[in-house]
Chains A and B, each alone.
Chain A
Amino acid sequence: MPRSALTGTRIRERRAFLGLRQAELARRVGISPSYLNLIEHNRRRIGGKLLVEIARELEVEASQLTQGAGAALIETLRLAAADHQAAAEELDRVEEFAGRFPGWAQLLADGQRRISDMERTVEMLTDRMTHDPFLSASLHEVLSTVTAIRSTAAILAETDDIDPDWQRRFHRNIGDDSQRLAEGAQALVAYLDDSSDDAQIRSSPQEEVEAWLRAQDYHVAALERGLPPSLDSIIAAAPDLTSAPARDIARAYLTRYRQDAEHMPLAAFAEEVRAVGAEPGHLARRFGVDAAAVFRRLAALPSDMAPGPVGLAVCDGSGTLTFRKPVEGFALPRFGAACPLWPLYQALSRPMAPLRAVVETAGRVSQRFVTYALCQPSGAAGFDGPPVLEAAMLILPDDPDAAPGVPVQPVGTSCRICPRRDCIARREPSILSDGF
């Protein structure tokens, strides 16, 4: 379908700028003035040869008539209509609507964006409410204190013949509880204030490390050199790594990163990816490494060398996510457990068996990704020790050629914020399907 987003409006404006009459332009491109009028009022779509001819007569590139802010407006309106049956039925008139009522269209688009932002905030806060022990305990404390104050205040207000001793006692209780409430509320506000910037609440050492890696796009350039600096010097130069546990996690990550860089030198690896693609099996054979190492290397490629956005999720044997590099459209939960249908967890149940799956995420606009997953021992437990496993899942943009005929697996982020109804793997109700 052509995306002529407000093209008609631009044609009209350009024609007026050139002082060209509508009938004259119509004559030059071989259409009737009434048809051009419909185009200019966004009531007819335009594309192909006619668009090129009109652009030529208006002395501009055709793309100048079809691209720009108007396209973003139309896209947002399409998104708004996606979940609304009546609007979806009129989707083919979206450009006409935006052209005839630009103010209302912008209002609707702004509202849609605001709703999306608020939904993300609600998801994040609910996720935190559910899984952040500090927040949960703090809110419980505040509610309990409010209850005590309310009950005591009601007694004082509603009991005319209260004994003076009881009265003094309740006054004292209210005073104590008020103080406690004030302190609890201040602590809560301070906690939320600290975490409101960047929408990233670094409540764990793992999150400190992830924030540090995110800031450098998950690529540690210093470790790509032939003679890299010491890991300790890299860590010492990282102000984001404020806690000792975070520095320990970073050290383990960098140790592995350096090994991967030695086995798969950046230039050779990037060239191989460029030449033959990002199929991990091929790259593992080419460089003589296991597929999980290839996953990590692909996720650490600079964006100008990567085959598109690359995500990576790693979990231990308990299913806890120990590393998260999300990609747009495939969120990885910050708290609590992820979607049990992820190939990551299927790999966990079948150690050493590589998996490839095309997944489709839940949400207003579903997206497909090709995922590769593998589970293998992560440490030498010996013959008598328990097996210690680690699974990794690489997330690549969907490519029908890369995984032809592979059935599509619907997945979510985590049950709490997943809108899929009747999911066989659901653990708990969704705040979305509950109409939070």
Chain B
Amino acid sequence: MGKHVLLIEDEPNIIEAIRFILARDGWRVDTHSDGRTALQAVQARAPDVVILDVMLPGRSGFDILKDIRALPGLSGLPVLMLTAKGQSKDREMAERLGASRFMTKPFSNTEVLASVRELVEP
């Protein structure tokens, strides 16, 4: 069984595309779409890496990241943040809250795959 990635994203066709690329690369991919319960999903599924969208229904990805970093045992969990807002303030916010990587939409499949690989096997 390959490494485990949890994709927290609410856009069904983005989920499907990312899931396909990562699965072909040998990853086990779980998905979650609701911001309000995303933190519990991270705790319950204990992934090796999280891909986290910023704009989620119910709760922002920034808030979820903040909670992840505050939890014992998850402070070092690799988190790749995705956002449609490429403004410098969003990037700064992601860095300040402890994001491992930050990627703006539209991204390429190769970039996502390379980033996830590097986060788990730096």
Distance (Å) between the CB of A23 and the closest chain B CB? 65
A140/B13 contact (C-beta < 8 A), A147-B84, A151-B21, A154-B108 known: no
A151 touches B14 (CB 8 A): yes
A150 touches B106 (CB 8 A): yes
| CB proximity to A under 8 Å, residues B46-79 | 55
A143 touches B88 (CB 8 A): no
**Which chain B residues border A147 with CB–CB below 8 Å?**
11, 14, 84, 105-107
**Which chain B residues border A152 with CB–CB below 8 Å?**
13, 16-17
Instruction: Report Cα–Cα, A176/B17, bound state, in Å.
Output: 14
Interface residues on B, range: 20 to 34
Q: Is the interface of A mostly helix, strand, loop or mixed?
A: helix
A17 within 8 A of B: no
A148/B11 contact (C-beta < 8 A), A143-B106, A169-B16, A428-B89 known: yes
Instruction: Report Cα–Cα, A152/B88, bound state, in Å.
Output: 27
A166/B105 contact (C-beta < 8 A), A140-B85, A144-B14, A428-B89 known: no
A144/B84 contact (C-beta < 8 A), A150-B106, A150-B108, A428-B89 known: yes
Instruction: Report Cα–Cα, A155/B17, bound state, in Å.
Output: 8
| CB proximity to B under 8 Å, residues A141-176 | 143-148, 150-152, 154-155, 158-159, 166, 169-170, 173, 176
**Which chain A residues border B16 with CB–CB below 8 Å?**
152, 169-170, 173
A201 within 8 A of B: no
**Which A residue's beta carbon lies closest to that of B92?**
A429
A177/B13 contact (C-beta < 8 A), A140-B84, A143-B84 known: yes
| CB proximity to B under 8 Å, residues A109-147 | 139-140, 143-147
Q: Is the interface of B mostly helix, strand, loop or mixed?
A: helix
Distance (Å) between the CB of B72 and the closest chain A CB? 33
B41 within 8 A of A: no
A148 touches B89 (CB 8 A): no
**Which chain A residues border B84 with CB–CB below 8 Å?**
139-140, 143-144, 147
Instruction: Report Cα–Cα, A150/B109, bound state, in Å.
Output: 8
A89 within 8 A of B: no
B18 within 8 A of A: yes
**Which A residue's beta carbon lies closest to that of B108?**
A154
Interface residues on A, range: 20 to 34
B105 touches A146 (CB 8 A): yes
Instruction: Report Cα–Cα, A155/B55, bound state, in Å.
Output: 24
B89 touches A151 (CB 8 A): no
B85 touches A148 (CB 8 A): no
A154/B109 contact (C-beta < 8 A), A140-B85, A144-B11 known: yes
B106 touches A146 (CB 8 A): yes
**Which chain B residues border A193 with CB–CB below 8 Å?**
none
**Which chain A residues border B105 with CB–CB below 8 Å?**
143-144, 146-147
Instruction: Report Cα–Cα, A132/B99, bound state, in Å.
Output: 28
**Which A residue's beta carbon lies closest to that of B86?**
A143
**Which chain B residues border A166 with CB–CB below 8 Å?**
20
Give the residue of A145, A173, A177, A429 whose beta carbon is less than 8 angstroms from that of B89.
A429
A434 within 8 A of B: yes
A139, A143, A154, A169, most chain B CB atoms within 10 A: A143
**Which A residue's beta carbon lies closest to that of B11?**
A144
The digit string for B70-114, where 1 denotes a CB below 8 A from any CB of A, is: 000000000000001100110000000000000001111110100
Instruction: Report Cα–Cα, A140/B106, bound state, in Å.
Output: 11
Instruction: Report Cα–Cα, A102/B106, bound state, in Å.
Output: 48
Instruction: Report Cα–Cα, A429/B92, bound state, in Å.
Output: 12
**Which A residue's beta carbon lies closest to that of B24?**
A159
**Which chain A residues border B14 with CB–CB below 8 Å?**
144, 147-148, 151
A155 touches B11 (CB 8 A): no
Distance (Å) between the CB of B42 and the closest chain A CB? 22
Distance (Å) between the CB of A224 and the closest chain B CB? 49
B88 touches A151 (CB 8 A): no
A173 touches B108 (CB 8 A): no
A155 touches B20 (CB 8 A): yes
B13 touches A148 (CB 8 A): yes
**Which B residue's beta carbon lies closest to that of A428?**
B89
Give the residue of B18, B24, B55, B85 whose beta carbon is less than 8 angstroms from that of A151.
B18
**Which chain B residues border A176 with CB–CB below 8 Å?**
13
Instruction: Report Cα–Cα, A155/B14, bound state, in Å.
Output: 12
**Which A residue's beta carbon lies closest to that of B20?**
A155
**Which A residue's beta carbon lies closest to that of B53?**
A144
- The 10 A-B pairs of least Cβ separation, nearest first, read A151-B17, A143-B84, A148-B13, A147-B106, A147-B105, A173-B13, A150-B106, A148-B14, A140-B84, A146-B106
Known: A146-B105, A429-B88. 19 other contacts (CB 8 A): A140-B84, A143-B105, A144-B55, A144-B84, A147-B106, A147-B107, A148-B11, A150-B108, A151-B14, A151-B17, A151-B107, A151-B108, A152-B13, A152-B16, A152-B17, A170-B16, A170-B17, A177-B13, A428-B89
Q: What are 19 contact pairs spanning A and B, CB under 8 A?
A: A140-B55, A140-B85, A144-B11, A146-B106, A148-B11, A148-B13, A148-B17, A150-B107, A150-B108, A151-B13, A151-B21, A151-B107, A152-B17, A155-B17, A155-B20, A158-B109, A173-B13, A173-B16, A434-B88
